[in-house]
A and B are shown apart, each in its own frame.
Chain A
Amino acid sequence: MNALMREWQRFTPAERIGRWAAYFIIVLALIWALRGIEIIPEFLADAPEQMLDLLARMWPPHLGHYHPAVHEALVETLHIASLGTLFSFIFAVPLALMAARNICPYAWLNTLAQLALVTSRSVNSLVWALIFVAIFGPGAAAGTFAIAFRSIGFVGKLLAEALEEISPGPQEALRATGAPDSHVILKGVWPQISPAFWGVALFRWDINIRESAVLGLVGAGGIGVVLDDAINFFQWDRVATILLAILGIVILAEILVTKLRARLI
């Protein structure tokens, strides 16, 4: 054989053309997007100046504003997040059991449950909040339901995946003793998924604290309401206090969740 024939190339010519075409399309898409967002050059130019101005107005934060208005809103946010997480489990656990193919043998129920879970996830918390504000009126109730309905999909999907990964042996053994399905789930399935269950519960609670902080922007209660008011009245020192309070509660939740998880799992 000719020595030249042994030359090695990473890509075939067709692959190379394909790669260049892909790069070209990416660049085109970028240009299209940039044109789409309609940047106003003057606004772009003085953006750093505006940002510094905003920070100067925020500094020093008006910490006296924290008590009582911000504090109460913060507690309400915690209530929304905790109750919302709890409510989501009431729906998510049965849906997860229905969605898991090794637990529920009916294919149509699996599909139905998965559809419900996807629907819950595909709608953003803010959109759920808008819907529930329309139903319940503005306030914490709307926020709680928004958090719950957004969490159902997340919690249900993760629980269903945990359920599908369990070992079938213990279930088979318990069924062989004559135990009814409810007992099999209690003693054969639950012990296997309880670490995943607590992990998901804590993780979602952590996420929900962050999500419920913004729900007030659409009137669904919590600290977002106070934040929205402060921004509308251009009280930037108050805005800074509120942002610091949110940061504080998120860090606290994170620490608590990490500690609890280490204990529970």
Chain B
Amino acid sequence: MMQGLVIRDLVKEYVPGKPVLRGIKLTIEAQGITAVIGPSGTGKSTLLRCINRLVEPTQGEIRLNGEDLVPLKGHALRMARRRIGMVFQEYNLVERLSVMENVLSGRLGYVSFWRAWLRRYAEEDIARAFELLEAVGLPEQATRRADALSGGQRQRVGIARALMQRPELLLADEPTSSLDPRTAIEIMELMTGLSTSARVPLIVNIHNVDLARRFAQRIIGMAGGEIVFDGPPEHLEASHLRQIYGGEDWL
């Protein structure tokens, strides 16, 4: 059984005949940080969302630790999603719930409806949520409402929620694009640090090439729905960036 993530011939067409992803082939090992760079609209988000099936792939194969995720439906799909954490650009917290409940909602794939309704989460889940809040630097904020937090704090909660799942894979879709430069670096440091210490592979879509170089061990460059660069940050040259983003005046 192959550990890690193996994607084969992944195609996604939102409109028939206009593929956004054109046969992606990609293997990601069971640890390490991979950054996906590329211009807006090139399919980075679609690629990430195909992995946890928030977007339905048109064809292809996505294997996580050996299991093909593409044909899964219903219960089996939810079981697979529990193993994949995701961090979003707009944080996607439930604004009117407390920080604690947002973190605990990472366990919603595990608890029964009545327990969720009555807020009777398991003791160990609550203990872990407190640990994670400490790890992301928000130990005092558990009872605050999510809409009272700043952008950086919200993303910290988003990271805690994703890790609450004890995922086998962590996806992050532009996690720093809504943040100021300093907070962006802090968030990247936090996310890469936590995923490394938990030995969870992290795939992060990112606009900022410098951040990608600084934090990732591997960079995937996408353009026009295809992978045009795949290698360590040291190998990423100006010629590759021209190929990925087009033009050269900006370099």
B80 partner residues in chain A, CB cutoff 8 A: 178
Q: Are A170 and B54 in contact (CB under 8 A)?
A: no
In contact, A191 and B97 (Cβ under 8 angstroms): yes
Known A172-B88, A178-B81; judge A187-B161 contact (CB<8 A).
Answer: no
* A178/B108 contact (C-beta < 8 A), A186-B113, A186-B116 known: yes
* A16 close to chain B: CB less than 8 A: no
The yes or no answer to B26 lying at the interface (CB within 8 A) is no
Bound Cα distance A175, B158 (Å):
14
Residues of chain B with a CB closer than 8 A to A194's CB = 96
In the complex, are the beta carbons of A191 and B94 less than 8 A apart?
yes
Could you tell me if A176 and B52 are in contact, using CB atoms closer than 8 angstroms? yes
A177 to B90 CA separation, bound complex (whole angstroms):
16
Binary A-proximity of B164-184 (CB < 8 A = 1, otherwise 0): 010000000000000000000
Judge whether B108 and A177 touch: CB under 8 Å.
yes
Least CB separation from A185: chain B residue: B113
By size class, the interface of chain A is: 20 to 34
CB distance from A187 to the nearest CB of B (A): 5
Q: Please report the total number of B residues contacting A with Cβ < 8 Å.
A: 33
Which residues of A lie under 8 Å from residue B156 when comparing CB positions?
Answer: none
Collect the chain A residues with CB atoms within 8 Å of residue B90's CB.
169
What residues of chain A lie closer than 8 Å to B84, measured between beta carbons? 176
Interface SS of chain A: helix, strand, loop or mixed? helix
Assembly CA distance A134 to B161 (angstroms): 56
In whole angstroms, what is the CA distance A230 to B109 when docked? 62
A13 contacts B by Cβ under 8 Å = no
- Which residues of A157-180 have CB atoms within 8 Å of chain B's CB atoms? 169-170, 172-180
User: In chain A, what residue has the closest Cβ to B165?
Assistant: A177
Q: How far is the CB of A169 from chain B (nearest CB, A)?
A: 4
Distance in angstroms from B155 CB to nearest chain A CB is: 12
A177-B106, A177-B107 are known; give 14 further A-B pairs, CB within 8 A. A169-B88, A172-B88, A173-B88, A173-B105, A177-B108, A177-B165, A178-B81, A179-B105, A179-B108, A180-B109, A182-B113, A183-B111, A183-B116, A194-B96
Question: Which residues of chain A have a CB within 8 Å of any CB of chain B?
Answer: 169-170, 172-180, 182-184, 186-188, 191-192, 194
In the A-B complex, the 8 residue pairs with the smallest Cβ-Cβ separation, listed nearest first, are A178-B109, A178-B82, A179-B108, A178-B81, A173-B92, A169-B92, A191-B96, A178-B78
